[in-house]
Amino acid sequence: MSPRTPSQYEEMREEKRSLIMDVALEHFSNIGFHATTITHIAKHAGISKGLMYNYFKSKEDLLSAIINRSIADIYTYFNPDHDSHLTPDEFELFIRKVFHVLHEKRQFWKLLYRIMLQPGVYENLFSEERMSISVSGVPLREFSENMMMLLTDYFERKKERAGADYDSRVELLMFSNAVKGFAMTSIFSAEQYQGDYFERVIDALLKRYK
């Protein structure tokens, strides 16, 4: 048997990391973040506790990795050319990709929301001292601020073709609330989107805000 190449070892390592994160997500959600131990996760992932620490330094590090992976799924498609200018086509791509990720990985996001709503988890994970969440290497807070600036500019530019009563701040707020509401109902109440209703809601959002 030929020895494994460095790339094969790295692929195996990433597969094991992914397995550990999937196991941890399930147990953090069902048992509770604080009640779940590293030993418990290692046992159900089929590895030793010592080996577990070769992949993650702590439970908090493990949860940060889960969050980073999920955020990457969502935000990879925002302003993909990184030119600080959001076009209508990029806006549509982002909306469609976001909701298809939520739809296709609904169980994952349901479990993740359960974890983040547990007492103290969100505050600890996103505290100034522990802020380790990032998007493509950019700290989440910085990325979020830049994202909001681009969206604000995008809605402001729509004044050029909108009526005199157009208020970009109100439109952006309404858009943000509509997206959050659709995201939550598509995750926790998927029965509302049977048949083609999921796509029809996306089309309606785009027709209203693109």
- pLDDT band of 131, cuts 50, 70, 90: low
CB 94 within 8 A of CB 202: no
Q: Which residue has the higher pLDDT, 178 or 140?
A: 178
What are the Cα distances from residue 145, in Å, to 43, 57, 170?
40, 29, 18
Instruction: Give yes or no for a contact between 207 and 198, defined as CB atoms under 8 angstroms apart.
Output: no
Contacts of residue 169, Cβ cutoff 8 Å, sequence gap at least 6:
155
How does pLDDT run across 82-102, given as a tens digit for each residue? 888 999 999 999 999 999 998
pLDDT tens digits along 170-210: 999 999 999 999 999 988 888 888 889 999 999 999 999 99
pLDDT computed for residue 127 by the predictor: 67
Which residue(s) pair with 139 in the sheet? 134
Mean pLDDT of the chain: 87
